[in-house]
Structure 1
Amino acid sequence: MEQVVELKEMGEGIIRIKMQDRVSKNTFSMELIAGLADAFKTIRNEPRYKVVILTGYDNYFASGGTQDQLLALADGKAKFTESDLYSMALNCPIPVISAMQGHGIGGGFAMGLFADFVVLSRESFYTTNFMKYGFTPGMGATFILPKKLGISLAQEMLLTAKNYRGEELQMRGIPFPVVPREQVLEHALELAETLVEKPRASLIALKDHLVAPLREGLPAVIEQEVMMHDKTFGQPGVKDRISTLFGR
């Protein structure tokens, strides 16, 4: 059986994290969460690595919370802060490239945006679909989307919960490369190869400096998102929406 999260060296100093939970279509299953935590821990403790490429499999990058997780949130039995998926790339000491070759859905899209570099696929869908179910966004989405996409597009994505193809986002002027799906990993590798030419200590020092405002500002927004969840998950109809609309 293939690993749900696979680590593979892609060249000197370059390590790829491949999310491939085919059973759950890369929703945040317990196996995927544990695998990502182990992968980033391994990378943190390995001084040979200079850059990480985070990617998915086939048509899926990351698909957000499972249906059971969303229902547990609605019942007040869980909080998304029980794992730090949303901040793993941000807190990784070395640069992380999100090679989003497949769909990025809900918290999965937000997680990818916390990387230092982002590459999208023209054909894939990207969405922050929290409001589709009637509850407000989590996973730091209300923080990272305005930072990375601009306030106007971020508000539209968060409030409408619409699906956007990568090609459409490219036309809207997002500041990331958008390439055909089969070229996403190749593009990420070319970028990684320009990074590994630099000394690891310098990469770490500069990343620490560049992302310091994000690391400092994120906790307060996470608290606000949790407070909004306390208000919105318990509304009438939310559990019904999760039960009937999930996966559509």
Structure 2
Amino acid sequence: MSGPIIEVSELEAGIVQVRMQDRVNKNTFTDALIHGLTAAFDQIRHCADYKVVILTGYDSYFSSGGTQAGLRELFEGKVKFTDKDLYSLALNCPIPVIAAMQGHGIGGGFVMGLFADFVVLARESVYTANFMKYGFTPGMGSTFILPHKLGLSLAHEMMLSAATYRGEELQRRGVPFAVVPREAVPQHALELARSLAEKPRISLVTLKSHLVGPLRAQLPAFIEQEIAMHELTFHRPEVKERIEAFFGN
């Protein structure tokens, strides 16, 4: 792999792009990717020149969610998903965030993208909230953000079934996001970013704070409930067996 795992670049005046490009690990939540994303959003938070963020991946991957080693640590009770907070990076970012999900969004990777203010999906890519595939209940705020962004029926189906969906299928199911061919995702996101960057930064920050204020206030209660559900569902032998048998399939 060449280049940094997280690449931060200013595409145009006021538009900053954060690209996840861990090709070795397919943008799973390795320590390096988590550290890089956290540092990138911290940098953005303190830069008054930026007005909008584009969060994207590489080729056919947006983010593949937790690593197998990370799931093992959760099973063993060594960590909680709240120890490394990726899910609220976009939500708590002061300026609007566009998740340009040109590639597959798997588990926590899909959920992380949904916390953005705008979501762009690719028709060809796969999106799934596949936590239950491994036998444990969803985390990372999934039980909050999926119903909020996708509607109750589809969100419940995705979480309970752990099924995978192509972007074109989600488009047919009526998701309220732009769904375009994969090669068109970057340009679509850039055009949206340009329309935002035309506005005064103070107005963007003020309006986003108002719009997402209720989400920021409600999320902690759902996180607590998800942690409680993990205590009931995560530390069971069949979960360990599923992590070993099904991971990456």
TM-score normalised by L of structure 2: 0.99
Alpha-carbon deviation of 1:23? 1.3
1:163-174 → structure 2 map (5 Å cutoff): 163-174=164-175
Match of 1:113 in 2: 114
Give the secondary-structure state (helix, strand or coil) at the position aligned to 2:120. strand
Distance (Å, rounded) in 1 between the aligned partners of 2:245 and 2:6: 29
Alpha-carbon deviation of 1:168? 0.1
Q: Which runs of 5+ in 2 are unaligned?
A: none
Distance (Å, rounded) in 2 between the aligned partners of 1:185 and 1:89: 18
Distance (Å, rounded) in 2 between the aligned partners of 1:92 and 1:62: 19
Match of 1:213 in 2: 214
1:19-38 → structure 2 map (5 Å cutoff): 19-38=20-39
Match of 2:161 in 1: 160
Match of 1:124 in 2: 125
Deviations 1:111-169 (A, max 9, x none): 00000000000000000000000000001011000000000000000000000000000
Distance (Å, rounded) in 2 between the aligned partners of 1:170 and 1:23: 30
Query: Residue 157 of structure 1 aligns to which amino acid in structure 2?
Result: M
Match of 2:178 in 1: 177
How many pairs align?
A: 248
Give the secondary-structure state (helix, strand or coil) at the position aligned to 2:229. helix
Deviations 1:161-199 (A, max 9, x none): 000000000000000000000000100000000001100
Match of 2:103 in 1: 102
Distance (Å, rounded) in 1 between the aligned partners of 2:158 and 2:95: 29
Match of 1:65 in 2: 66
Deviations 1:20-48 (A, max 9, x none): 01111000000000000110011011111
Distance (Å, rounded) in 2 between the aligned partners of 1:236 and 1:31: 29
Match of 2:202 in 1: 201
Match of 2:189 in 1: 188
Alpha-carbon deviation of 1:235? 1.8
Distance (Å, rounded) in 1 between the aligned partners of 2:132 and 2:44: 34
Distance (Å, rounded) in 2 between the aligned partners of 1:194 and 1:179: 18
Give the secondary-structure state (helix, strand or coil) at the position aligned to 1:52. strand
Q: Which runs of 5+ in 1 are unaligned?
A: none
Work out the percentage of aligned pairs sharing the same amino acid: 67
Match of 1:227 in 2: 228
Distance (Å, rounded) in 2 between the aligned partners of 1:31 and 1:71: 18
Distance (Å, rounded) in 2 between the aligned partners of 1:37 and 1:89: 10
Alpha-carbon deviation of 1:234? 1.4
Distance (Å, rounded) in 1 between the aligned partners of 2:197 and 2:238: 50
1:229-248 → structure 2 map (5 Å cutoff): 229-248=230-249
Query: Residue 127 of structure 1 aligns to which amino acid in structure 2?
Result: T
Distance (Å, rounded) in 2 between the aligned partners of 1:8 and 1:167: 30
Alpha-carbon deviation of 1:56? 0.2
TM-score normalised by L of structure 1: 0.99
Alpha-carbon deviation of 1:74? 0.6
Match of 1:84 in 2: 85
Give the secondary-structure state (helix, strand or coil) at the position aligned to 1:115. coil
Alpha-carbon deviation of 1:236? 2.5
Distance (Å, rounded) in 1 between the aligned partners of 2:98 and 2:37: 15
Alpha-carbon deviation of 1:18? 0.1
Query: Residue 43 of structure 1 aligns to which amino acid in structure 2?
Result: I
Query: Residue 169 of structure 2 aligns to which amino acid in structure 1?
Result: E
Distance (Å, rounded) in 1 between the aligned partners of 2:243 and 2:142: 19
Alpha-carbon deviation of 1:215? 0.1
Distance (Å, rounded) in 2 between the aligned partners of 1:178 and 1:246: 28
Give the secondary-structure state (helix, strand or coil) at the position aligned to 1:98. strand
